[in-house]
């Protein structure tokens, strides 16, 4: 059979990245705005004041517009695992499919059922039942995020499975290890809290626009108050979970951390690059000069970030490729060449095993299986042709990481400032204007986070086990190119339509003219 065209891999990656990034434009707003909506409706049910009902209904209208496109892009994403990554689907389907099925059975139906009650049930249900429907819708969306992040975390940190050479795939041996993997837990907390931040920025941003225009001021102030509290808590939690994620990445994906830092030569007590500019065209596998045009470094901060120890050892890209640095087990780490040699041996053992089984040679099959088990951990490296392939796109990862972290810090300050200033923000027009302009920044930070997570782990579909080149479907490159452009046009049109509708809804403002209750 013919080998796979390398450009097919690139186009398949581009299509998946396109779908995932578009999907992630809509999902965090669903999660974040959903939570804020739930809190507002809870206040309405508790106080019985129509003002809060009006507030909830207004934000719900925006939630609905956004939700529809999120659903539309999500379905493509689920099926693209099969359409574009068929080897991957078989190689890990035994583990990866289960969270998707649970997501469908438990989360999607919860969301789909209660969202109809939430939108159409205002005059048909009691206040309590309607509130329950709203919470259930948001819970469904959050549970959905949980399961898909379990699947994603498993790709970054494969656990709870065993390779079966008979079926040529990984098979689950512990559901709890997959569903409650520490990487999955942290990824979920980090992602969901960051989505809450985005939802909060959206609410304070839109509300600031009303303050700037001098319209619906009561409505805007109440919304800012609720969203700022949610946003501040979420932004602090995002920072904390981000740090915990960095500690995990340092241990399980050290190349990603090295790329995010542009760190070529590691060591003990390594500093963190706060701001920096990379030289273009650097050969990151073996740079001959300092890859930075300039950088501002915080001493020892990377060691603290990665190991919680100011003198902790953090390997750089060169260390990871050349090996020899002290590994977690105290032994010198393997070089990329050594890992690739073991990986090729694993693949050869698999071939030998299959041939021996076919020939009915039980003894040879057993020997090959044992050899495979010893070397399986490095099997993915066997598909690589050179150590350089192990280095992800450094510049993209480096800048995305900075965008994410700096904006994360900005959002903490933003929400704290809004809470401290209270009504005084209306006195200086620049403040609400700045808050309004923060909305695209929240999206930028959110997307940048995923770029770090996904670009930083290249070339792997499954960390260490399956690179992209061995995961892709055998299709004509032109087919994938065509669907890429179709999706690009379609999603862009849908995004523009959503923006136009949202701008109109915002311009129209809330329907309810109730004033804010004085006691609140």
User: Restricting to residues 87-106, which ones interact with other proteins according to CB under 8 A?
Assistant: 87, 89-91, 93-98, 100-106
How far is the CA of 288 from the CAs of 22, 245, 321, 451, 506, in angstroms? 38, 31, 15, 27, 54
Cα separation, 295 vs 270, whole angstroms:
14
Strand pairing category for 292-298 and 466-467: unpaired
User: Which of 315, 325, 320 lies closest to 339, judged by CA?
Assistant: 320
Contact in structure between 146 and 49 (CB atoms under 8 Å) = no
Cβ atoms of 396 and 280 within 8 Å: the answer is: no
Cα gap 266→440, rounded to integer Å = 35
Name which of 303 and 352 has its Cβ closer to other proteins. Answer: 352
Contacting other proteins (CB under 8 A), which of 27, 117, 418, 448?
A: 117
The CB-of-250 to other proteins minimum distance in angstroms stands at 21
- CA–CA separation, 74 and 24 (whole Å): 9
Considering only 14, 68, 247, 395, the residue that binds other proteins (CB under 8 A) is: 68
Q: Within positions 298 to 327, which residues make up the interface with other proteins, using CB under 8 A?
A: none
The region of 110-118, 193-201, 222-230, 259-267 touching other proteins under the rule CB under 8 A is: 110-118
Our finding on whether 153 is near other proteins (CB under 8 A) is: no
Write the CB contacts of 3 (distance below 8 Å, at least 6 apart in sequence).
none
State the number of binding residues for other proteins (CB under 8 A). Answer: 99
- Binding flags for other proteins, 456-485, as an x/- string (CB under 8 A): -------------xx-xxxxx--x---x--
CB of 379 to other proteins, least distance (A): 9
Determine, following the binding rule CB under 8 A, whether residue 137 of this chain makes contact with other proteins.
no
Q: Which stretch binds other proteins (CB under 8 A): 39-47, 169-177, 226-234, 302-310?
A: 169-177
- From 299, 493, 513, 520, residue interacting with other proteins (rule: CB under 8 A): 493
DSSP string for residues in 305-374: HHHSSTT-EE--HHHHHH--SB-TTSSBPPPHHHHHHHHHHHHHHHHHHHHHHHHT-HHHHHHHHHHHHH
| Cα 448 to Cα 443: distance, rounded to the nearest angstrom | 8
Bridge partners (DSSP) listed for residue 343? none
Of 42, 47, 86, 477, the one binding other proteins by CB under 8 A: 86
Q: State the nearest-atom distance from the C-beta of 98 to other proteins, in Å.
A: 5
Nearer to other proteins, 117 or 321 (CB): 117
* Furthest-apart CA atoms within the chain: distance in Å: 85
Phi-psi domain of 269 (left: phi exceeds 0; alpha: psi -120 through 50; beta: other): left
Task: Figure out which of the listed residues 7, 48, 175, 213 binds other proteins, where binding follows CB under 8 A.
Answer: 175
Pick from 300, 490, 509, 512 the residue near other proteins by CB under 8 A. Answer: 490
Least distance to other proteins from the beta carbon of 169, Å? 8
CB of 105 to other proteins, least distance (A): 6
Cβ proximity to other proteins, 24 vs 401, nearer residue: 24
State in angstroms the smallest separation of the CB of 483 from other proteins.
6
Per CB under 8 A, contacts with other proteins among 330-389 are 343-344, 347-348, 350-351, 354, 382-383
Q: How far is the CB of 19 from other proteins (least distance, A)?
A: 10
């Amino acid at each position: 059979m013919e080998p796979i065209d390398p450009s097919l891999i690139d186009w398949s990656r581009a299509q998946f990245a396109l779908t995932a990034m578009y999907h992630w434009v809509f999902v965090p707003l669903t999660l974040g705005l959903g939570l804020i909506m739930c809190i507002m409706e809870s206040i309405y049910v508790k106080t019985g004041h129509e003002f809060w009902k009006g507030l909830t209904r207004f934000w719900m209208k925006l939630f609905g517009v956004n939700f529809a496109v999120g659903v539309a892009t999500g379905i493509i994403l689920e099926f693209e695992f099969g359409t574009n990554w068929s080897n991957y689907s078989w190689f890990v389907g035994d583990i990866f499919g289960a969270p998707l099925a649970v997501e469908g059975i438990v989360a999607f139906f919860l969301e789909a059922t209660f969202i109809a009650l939430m939108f159409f049930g205002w005059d048909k249900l009691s206040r309590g039942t309607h509130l329950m429907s709203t919470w259930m819708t948001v819970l469904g969306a959050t549970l959905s995020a949980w399961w898909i992040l379990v699947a994603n975390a498993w790709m970054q940190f494969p656990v709870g499975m065993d390779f079966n050479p008979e079926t040529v795939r990984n098979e689950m041996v512990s559901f709890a290890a997959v569903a409650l993997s520490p990487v999955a837990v942290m990824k979920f907390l980090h992602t969901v809290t960051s989505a809450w931040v985005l939802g909060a920025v959206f609410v304070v941003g839109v509300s600031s626009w009303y303050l700037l225009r001098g319209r619906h001021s009561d409505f805007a102030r109440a919304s800012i108050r609720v969203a700022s509290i949610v946003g501040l808590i979420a932004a602090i939690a995002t920072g904390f979970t981000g740090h915990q994620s960095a500690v995990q990445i340092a241990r399980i994906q050290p190349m990603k951390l090295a790329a995010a830092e542009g760190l070529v030569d590691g060591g003990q007590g390594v500093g963190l690059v706060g701001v920096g500019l990379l030289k273009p065209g650097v050969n990151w596998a073996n740079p001959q000069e300092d890859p930075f045009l300039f950088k501002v470094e915080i001493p020892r901060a990377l060691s603290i970030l990665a190991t919680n120890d100011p003198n902790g050892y953090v390997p750089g890209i060169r260390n990871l490729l050349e090996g020899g640095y002290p590994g977690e087990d105290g032994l010198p780490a393997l070089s990329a060449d050594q890992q690739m040699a073991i990986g090729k041996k694993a693949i050869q053992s698999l071939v030998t095993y299959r041939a021996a089984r076919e020939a009915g040679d039980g003894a040879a099959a057993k020997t090959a299986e044992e050899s495979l088990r010893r070397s399986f951990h490095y099997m993915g490296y066997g598909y690589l042709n050179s150590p350089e392939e192990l280095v992800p796109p450094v510049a993209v990862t480096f800048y995305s990481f900075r965008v994410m972290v700096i904006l994360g810090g900005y959002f903490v300050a933003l929400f704290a400032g809004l809470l401290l200033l209270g009504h005084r923000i209306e006195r200086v027009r620049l403040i609400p204007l700045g808050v309004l302009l923060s909305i695209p920044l929240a999206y930028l930070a959110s997307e940048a986070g995923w770029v770090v997570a996904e670009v930083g782990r290249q070339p792997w579909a499954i960390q260490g086990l399956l690179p992209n080149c061995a995961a892709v479907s055998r299709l004509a490159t032109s087919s994938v190119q065509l669907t890429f452009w179709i999706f690009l046009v379609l999603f862009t049109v849908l995004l523009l339509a959503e923006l136009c509708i949202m701008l109109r809804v915002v311009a129209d403002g809330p329907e309810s003219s109730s004033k804010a209750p004085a006691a609140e």
